[in-house]
Amino acid sequence: MRFIANNMQRTVATARSFATGFMPEADVVVEHLPFGGPRDSRFALTVSHSDAAFSNRIDRQLGETFGGGAGIDRILAPSYALLSRVIDYPSSARGRRPDAVPFASTGVSYFDIIRPPHSIGLHGPIGEAYPVADSILLQQYEDPSAAASFGHPLTWEEWRLIGKVKETYISMRYGTKAMSAKLGKEFLPLLAKRLERGEPRLTFVGGHDTTLAQVGTQLDVEPYELPGAVEYRTPIGSKIVLGRWCCDDGIDRLSVDFVYQTTAQIRACQPADRAHPPSVVRLRLKGLTPDADGRYPLADVLPRLLSPDPGS
């Protein structure tokens, strides 16, 4: 088995916690680069090279998926309105600035790549709304009362509207084929080789929601929403589990499961055990026919992890 984590305290701690729960009497080594050093390139959030053609592919793919920035703002208009009310944005110091971007569809969200260091930028309403939504979502896990939403009692549906900002931002920033292939040029082949060889028997990778977005995008996962989660696509602490199955008919197959704790479990700090198991949702892949158990021929899936962006 092999345990790999990005060189951040939280990702290494997650990997060590999983290793301890999995094999409590073994001294499992978690591989990671030194803390405080250069970021592990397998978990890259910046691209090493970009040009106009690359940016144009991302713009085209965002247009196909969301209808571009204006389409995203129309989708998120109810979420923007809710966030603005929750934090009283128009009366805030930032909201009163002359250059303030309103949480409304009067602006237009857009994407660019800032050079150097080729970091990915999202601007306009979604760029303004995302850090607010992300902060409030993290706070509600610790305090589900109205204090997390600045005294505004929110329904489950309203919490999901806030979660929609975060999930859309992740999909827009990291979920295009062009970007996921570029960022995952080291990480995705690592997964493919482990699955192809079938060894080590277990590989644990401690990454981020952006890591999950890359895997889901390259596998071409059908749209899904996770029950019981306000972060309904990549909730905190969640995992994509890729399982290789050696079947009696001689065909190796792959299952793709999303494993996560519900929002209620996280709020209660409920450890996962047999009495309180995590939720599991089997994901479906576009363009492929699963067997009766929702698995796909491994040979049909591996090229999706190894192939570059088809638009390149």
Tens-digit pLDDT profile for residues 239-250: 999 999 999 999
Q: Residue 304: pLDDT band by 50, 70, 90 thresholds?
A: very high
**Structural domain span for residue 70:** 52-181
- Using CA atoms in the order 129, 135, 138, 139, what is the torsion angle rounded to 10 degrees? -120
Last residue of a domain, one of 120, 149, 181: 181
Q: Residue 200: pLDDT band by 50, 70, 90 thresholds?
A: confident
- 150 lies in some domain: yes
CB 180 within 8 A of CB 214: yes
Return d(Cα 242, Cα 130) in angstroms, integer. Answer: 29
Q: Which tokens is 227 given?
A: 């029950």
pLDDT digits (tens, 9 = 90+) for 91-110: 888 888 888 777 765 557 77
pLDDT digits (tens, 9 = 90+) for 45-100: 777 677 778 888 888 888 888 887 778 888 899 999 999 999 998 888 888 888 87
- 131 lies in some domain: yes
Last residue of a domain, one of 165, 181, 197: 181
- 311 lies in some domain: no
pLDDT digits (tens, 9 = 90+) for 142-180: 998 889 999 999 999 999 999 999 999 998 888 888 888
88 and 137 within one domain: yes
How much is the pLDDT for 276? Answer: 92
- 127 lies in some domain: yes
Residue that has been written with the tokens 């969640």 in this structure: 238
Helix (H) or strand (E) holding 13: helix 9-22
How much is the pLDDT for 249? Answer: 92
